[in-house]
Amino acid sequence: MKNVFLKAILPVFAFALASAGAVSTSNSNSSSATLAVQGWKQVSPIECEYIADCNNEGSVICMSGSDQLFGKPTPASFCGEVLTHRP
């Protein structure tokens, strides 16, 4: 009797545990913590210089002084991605 009870309850318990784990995980896009994105200044048409980090949130263009900062999609690419910043 005890063996039959365990065989019936164990799959239900495993399913409930898996469901609770799936519900408790969060989507990285909806997290309140923001990741810093490296902001690059265009020094020449083919050269970029790292200046500061932007959080890429909001609608204000990320600036450093009077220079607009851009992002690089990959480390080897040109800095042409428009970044925004919310303080």
Per-residue model confidence as pLDDT tens digits over 40-65:
999 988 899 999 999 988 889 999 99
CA distance 46 to 68: 16
> What pTM value is reported for the model?
0.58
Mean pLDDT of the chain: 79
Using alpha carbons, select from 34, 35, 84 the residue that is nearest to residue 60.
84
Question: Which residue would you say has higher pLDDT here, 59 or 11?
Answer: 59
Residue range 13-28, pLDDT digits in tens: 666 667 666 666 655 4
Structural domain spans, the chain: 37-82
